[in-house]
Amino acid sequence: MRVFNIDGIAGGFETLSSITTAKGFTSAKIAPTTGSFTGKQARAVILSVETADIRFTIDGTTPTTTATTAVGHLLTSGSSYEITGEKNIANFSCINAVASNGAVVKCTYLF
């Protein structure tokens, strides 16, 4: 289990599911327009893969399933990962590692 160096204040949470096509973070979560963090950009996101594996990218490339060309980093079910940097967060995209495997990813945004 990885221990994270959490630098910032948790300011939002979401669940990504039904990831049969590439999906990124919700823009209103990473750059809120209402609430305590209005006008700020998330500096880090903690991900945990709850159900089924995913593939993800942070450079703007579209990830693909393992059965196709397997583009992106594999993050297995039960794993956690921290993404830092505003550009990396904005460019994040994930997809089920295996087509239609029902991956669920929990995300906490830090400001």
What residue ranges do the domains of the chain occupy?
Answer: 10-110
Q: For position 2, what pLDDT does the model report?
A: 52
- Identity of the amino acid at 77: S
Q: For position 67, what pLDDT does the model report?
A: 79
pLDDT mean by block of 10 residues, the chain; 111 residues? 67 94 96 94 96 96 88 95 96 93 93 95
Q: For position 65, what pLDDT does the model report?
A: 92
**CATH annotation of 10-110:** 2.60.120
Q: Which two tokens stand for residue 49?
A: 């893969």
Q: For position 1, what pLDDT does the model report?
A: 45
Q: For position 100, what pLDDT does the model report?
A: 76
